[in-house]
Structure 1
Amino acid sequence: MTAVVTELPPSKLGTKEHWDDVYHEEISNFIDHGDEGEVWFGEDTQEKMVEWALANVPPSPDLSVLEIGSGNGALLFGLLDAGYPARCLAGLDYSSSATQLAEIVAVLRDGEKISFTTSNFLEDDPLPLPNSVSPSGGVDRWDLLLDKGTYDAIALGVKDEHGRSPAINYPSRVARLLKPGGYFLITSCNFTEDELKANFVTSETGLVYHSRIQHPTYSFGGKSGSTCASIAVQKPLPAA
């Protein structure tokens, strides 16, 4: 089974220009009013992701955690507040304005500095954490990869000449960058749990389903659902 990304129409939410404008405005708001910016999907969802991390990938000196599309850094700052060492945390975003905002907030928070870089996840390998040692092949691999809305935005990007969403390449990138035994935790508002499983748990990625986060549900017209979905998948350890 290979990934089949649910077709979503292209939107400005899938463009770099949109996010550059959003975070440029948030920088101005932070400078003028001290507002660190929006917590994407809300503080409750972020707290649930931090709780999941604490239960499944607890803080340790040698841990490596990367958020894909880190925006203003809110989720990584949440992990920092929960006891994860800053030297173990990294964020990347293809918007330089987002990276700039996260770095400004980090400076004013004092303490050790989280690594924030401007990078396109679909095209570039993330920069390694300071003092990390790349395995053979030169690609740093991570204990935990996090996504809170980035896959959604990528899926809203302009399709290629074959009509494929840029998100089609995302799951294989995740699998490539995970350490054996490592986890990928994703929260989405555009994809259901079943769709996320179908896209990430495939023969191509080799990833396996691990767990889910329960979000508040609502009922309408005899059906129930949630405003977002979160699942975790894992890269299996090599067979003994």
Structure 2
Amino acid sequence: MLQCLTLELEMGCFWLNWLAKLGYSDITGIDYSPLAIQLSGRIIEKEGLSNIKLQVEDFLNPSPKLSGFHICIDKGTFDAISLNPDGALEKRKQYVKSLFRALQDKGFFLITSCNWTKDELLNEFSEGFEILEELPTPTFTFGGRSGNSVTALVFQKK
């Protein structure tokens, strides 16, 4: 049984529904906000998906039961933590520690970021993770140079 974890349910709810519709049966979505959990619960109920667990968790201080996942998906949580004006560097380090504990050995971590480049993310997750894949994202060209406004990477826990 494949255990999947999504962080921050605003975008995570899309991933939860998609994974459940693909047939995955052990899916957990977390958010620090009880209101986000309630809203996601209503969406999941409306979709008729009963194989998704939702729980209130602060990913920087997770409960011990938040472990053993095969896959962790993040679309926005690391970005939000990084923008915190109070101790962002320490909070990013704690995020990496929490991620390491949440994933089983050789587990996969998918991150989509609007704030970080590939090289910056490689640096942030260099301890304990290795890059497997850079996923294609839309590009733009300005002034003769091309770039991406979104970075999407797949890491594996070492």
TM-score normalised over the length of structure 2? 0.91
Give the RMSD, CA atoms, in angstroms.
Answer: 1.7
Q: Does 1:71 align with 2:10?
A: yes
Q: Distance in 2 between the 1:141 and 1:67 partners?
A: 13
1:1-240 matches, within 5 Å, as: 62-71=1-10, 73-85=13-25, 88-125=26-63, 127=65, 140-160=67-87, 164=89, 166-202=91-127, 206-236=128-158
The AA in structure 2 aligned to 1:122 is L
Q: Would you say how many aligned residue pairs link Structure 1 and Structure 2?
A: 157
- Equivalent-residue separation in structure 1 for 2:2 and 2:139 (angstroms): 33
Shift of 1:225: 0.9
Q: TM-score, normalised by structure 1?
A: 0.61
Instruction: Check the 8 A contact 1:158/1:165 in 2, yes or no.
Output: no
- Confirm or deny: 8 A CA contact 1:145 1:184 kept in the other structure: yes
Per the TM alignment, residue 165 of structure 1 is displaced from its structure 2 partner at its CA by 5.1
CA distance in 2, matches of 1:226, 1:218: 6
Structure 2 unaligned residues grouped into runs of 5+: none
Question: How far apart, CA to CA, are the structure 1 residues paired with 2:50 and 2:139?
Answer: 38
The structural deviation recorded for 1:171 is 1.3
**Residue-by-residue CA offset, 1:133-154 (whole Å, 9 max, x unaligned):** xxxxxxx311001101111011
Q: Distance in 2 between the 1:127 and 1:116 partners?
A: 13
Q: Which has the higher strand share?
A: 2
- Cα distance, 1:180–1:234 mapped onto 2, change above 3 Å: same
Greater Rg by CA: 1
Q: CA deviation at 1:127?
A: 4.3
Show structure 1 runs of 4+ deviating over 6 A: none
> What is the match of residue 42 of structure 1?
none
C-alpha distance in 2, partners of 1:223/1:99? 41
Shift of 1:167: 2.0
Shift of 1:158: 3.0
